Structure 1
């Protein structure tokens, strides 16, 4: 399996919708959401990441999600591995390669150690076992593991199968600058797009993150390519209040899924425990943010 670098642009991170009554995976809503990503012209989609609540899905549910995504849109796919220990990560990557096949652009694995030599050894072993290209995600808020940008670059330099890095350890712009200068591997920003403008200025290849208006991420990245910082700023300004609103700690996932529901892209906004739902006190403000963006979109 080839380990070609990920193409630059916007890789839409896909939520996993659940039914309101039983909290089963809502495959019809999932297909509708993925179809929307295809229509707006994203570079590819990222499935079973943190936004996809992969850590709260069974193996059978993960397989079902991947099958629907493959059937719905002819797009390159990055598949997340939610585990951090080598054995279960290998199993998750094997599932991705089995279901997605030639459409698999990469499997996203978490940094699980601050030791660059050990990290490189583990990544090389994972590729040897699965043949998959690797997207290395540095997300200490989720894993509890912190690694310096220099040490992460050192690890990546030793692993030929790395197809991208997803930098989500604040401050992301200097980390992206270090990683792009040292590795030559495409580096994508995340964290809901809060730092997208600064990440692009630091050399980011684009965005790989969840946002209820992925059109905004694409508008920003496309404008950057056409006209640099000023053009990207003008394209992104209209979305920034909603980006900031969705970035609220603990409830950001629930806010984003509710925004997708109100857009008509998924039928329900339930999140699985222990993630908290969106507080009722935020509903009016969410309506304001959505109306502001939709007025511009229309």
Structure 2
């Protein structure tokens, strides 16, 4: 299985839609959502990540999600692993390799230790067992594990199968600058795109994140390539209030799914417990943000 570095650009992080009545995976909405990503020109998709609520899906549901995505689009796919220990991670990746096949661009594995040597050993174990290229995700808000940029660079330097790094440990720009310089691996920002402009300036390869208007991420990254910071700033400025609104702690996922529903991309904005729903008091403000962006889009 090839382990080529991920292509730069926007790797859209896909939400997992649920039906409002039964909370089953809504396969029709999922197919519609990933087709929309394809239509706006993303580089690839990231499926079963934190935004995809993978930790709340059964093994059968995860497989079904991957099957729907593969049937709907022919984009390269990064598949997330929600476990953190090598054995369970391998158990998650193996069926993904089977289902996704040649579209598999990488398996996203979370940093689970601050010890660079141990981290490298564990990542290499995962690769030897699965054959998958690895996207190393540094996301201490979820894992509770903090690792410095130098230590992470040391670990990645010992992992030949590392196809990218996803840097989500604030402050991200200096971490991205250090990782890009010291590893040579493409480094992507996340965190809803809040720091995208600064991350591009620091040397990121693009964005790998969830946002209800991924068109804005694509516009920003494309503008950066063609016109540098001034062009990217102009392209992204119109989206930043909505980016900021969606970045609110605890309820960001619910806000994004509700925004996707209002856009007609999802049939329902349901989130699985214990994720909280969006407070009704925020409905009017979300409408304002969406109207402002849609006015520009049209």
TM-score w.r.t. length of structure 1: 1.00
1:27-76 deviation line (CA, Å, top 9, x unaligned)? 00000000000101100000000000000000000000000000000100
The question of 1:274 aligning with 2:274 is answered: yes
1:192 corresponding residue in structure 2: 192
SS of residue in 1 equivalent to 2:218: helix
Aligned-partner Cα distance in 1 for 2:204–2:257: 26
The answer to whether the aligner puts 1:3 opposite 2:3 as a matched pair is yes
Q: Report the equivalent of 1:221.
A: 221
Q: Deviations over 1:209-258 (max 9, x none)?
A: 00000000000000000000000000000000000000000000000000
- 4+ runs deviating over 2 angstroms: none
> In structure 2, what is the Cα distance between the partners aligned to 1:11 and 1:124?
24
Q: How far apart are 1:106 and its partner, in Å?
A: 0.2
Q: Distance in 2 between matches of 1:91 and 1:101?
A: 16
Q: Write the mapping of 1:245-284 to structure 2, written as runs, cut at 5 A.
A: 245-284=245-284
Q: Alpha carbon RMSD of aligned pairs, Å?
A: 0.3
User: Structure 1: any 5+ residue segments left out of the alignment?
Assistant: none
Match of 2:180 in 1: 180
TM superposition shift of 1:85: 1.2
Aligned position for 2:135? 135
Matched, 1:19 2:19: yes
Aligned match of 2:90: 90
Report deviation, 1:17: 0.2
SS at match of 1:108: strand
Q: Could you tell me how far 1:86 is from its partner in structure 2?
A: 1.2
| Alignment match, 1:294 | 294
What CA distance in whole angstroms lies between the structure 2 residues aligned with 1:181 and 1:85? 28
Q: Which residue of 2 aligns with 1:113?
A: 113
What does residue 61 of structure 1 align with?
61
Cα distance in structure 2, aligned partners of 1:125 and 1:11: 26
The CA distance in 1 between the partners of 2:31 and 2:91, in whole Å, is 25
Corresponding residue for residue 45 of structure 1 = 45
For these two proteins, the number of residue pairs brought into alignment is: 298
1:174 CA drift (Å): 0.3
TM-score by length of 2: 1.00
